[in-house]
Structure 1
Amino acid sequence: MTDRGFSCEDNRRYLRQGDHAYIIGEKLRTGSPEVKAAPSRQGRYTETADNMRVKEVRISDTDRFVICHNPESAERDRHMREQLVAQLSELIADTDQFSDFKRGELRVKIADKPGLNRYLRTTPAGKLRIDTARIKSSAAGAT
């Protein structure tokens, strides 16, 4: 099993050179090409417990993914995401009227809060907006 800093392509390539089995654990929201491909592959979920279902998919001749889904955890994540987006919406409301400097100060404050910063984007004109694409991908990763 690996930690999140280990599962880069170079390390995977190195592991494939050996004559041994290995498991890499990744969250669906990591965004790697393999992780993005895995949920859309054919396969059925199997209920393994009241709060867990599992689906195995092959993404190549050498790699397979075991996707675990916990509906309770997904619901908690959805609720937390909604709270963060609501808080962020409140923070950036009416910021289009702020000076660039004042908006920049707020942007820096939000950057220090990873949960909020995850769903914030800045337009080319420096306006603060909710990143709806990021919200959708985060929700999709919670499936």
Structure 2
Amino acid sequence: MRDWTLDTIVWVTDRGFSSEENSHYLRQGDHAYILGESSAPDQRVKAAPSRPGRYQDVAENMRVEEARISDTDRFVICHNLESAVRDKHMRTQLVTHLQELIADTDTLSDFKRGEVRGKIADKLGPNRHLRTTGAGKLRIDHARIKAEENLDGKYLLR
């Protein structure tokens, strides 16, 4: 890159690159960057997309909002309205499928119910919406579904 005589370099990464280690490296220098954020362990990152705010339309199916979480962290929340509809549809299909998988499992023995739980654990989509009660019963995780609804069609840039 030295041969290009660039004055400024802006690092742009997708969600697959934005590990905590990589993000920390870029933030500690004087680099300019745009990071696509995934579901990161940082609670501030998780909270940003669900915060109420004022979106600005930037395209027919896209609106954005700036969210400053701290003096150093600036996020842009991108909300794709078409993706939001698709996300809701996909989740509805997954939950319907999960309901079919766990129907009548209350009548099974603990061992058989454990087998059903193990089969669902291999399926990322349905497993995400499953919870197990203290008594070992298989239930839909409605709190998780509600939390996901707030994120339909949204992705986060740092």
Q: TM-score range by the shorter chain?
A: 0.7 to 0.9
User: In the alignment, what sits opposite 1:113?
Assistant: 123
1:36-51 pair list within 5 angstroms: 36-39=46-49, 41=51, 43-51=53-61
Amino acid aligned to 1:39: P
User: In the alignment, what sits opposite 1:13?
Assistant: 24
TM-superposed deviation, 1:6:
4.1
Q: Greater strand percent: which structure?
A: 2
1:1-143 pair list within 5 angstroms: 1-27=12-38, 30=40, 32-39=42-49, 41=51, 43-142=53-152
Quick check: 4-13 or 82-91, which moved more? 4-13
2:36 match: secondary structure: coil
TM-superposed deviation, 1:99:
0.7
- How many percent identity over aligned positions? 70
Q: Greater helix percent: which structure?
A: 1
Q: Rate the CA distance shift 1:140–1:104 in 2: closer, same or farther, 3 A.
A: same
Quick check: 72-81 or 42-51, which moved more? 42-51
TM-score (norm 1): 0.87
- Tell me which structure has the larger Cα radius of gyration: 2
For structure 2, the residue ranges without an aligned partner over 5 or more in a row are: 1-11
TM-superposed deviation, 1:108:
1.2
TM-score (norm 2): 0.79
Tell me how large the CA RMSD over aligned residues is.
2.0
Q: Rate the CA distance shift 1:135–1:97 in 2: closer, same or farther, 3 A.
A: same
Please give the alpha-carbon distance, in whole angstroms, between the structure 2 residues aligned to 1:74 and 1:86.
18
TM-superposed deviation, 1:39:
3.3
1:67 match: secondary structure: strand
Q: Which has the higher contact order (CA 8 A, sep 6+)?
A: 2
TM-superposed deviation, 1:73:
0.6
Q: Rate the CA distance shift 1:40–1:21 in 2: closer, same or farther, 3 A.
A: same
TM-superposed deviation, 1:126:
1.4
Residue by residue over 1:46-84, the C-alpha shift from the partner in whole angstroms, topping out at 9 and shown as x without a partner, is: 111111011112111111111000111101110111111
TM-superposed deviation, 1:8:
4.1
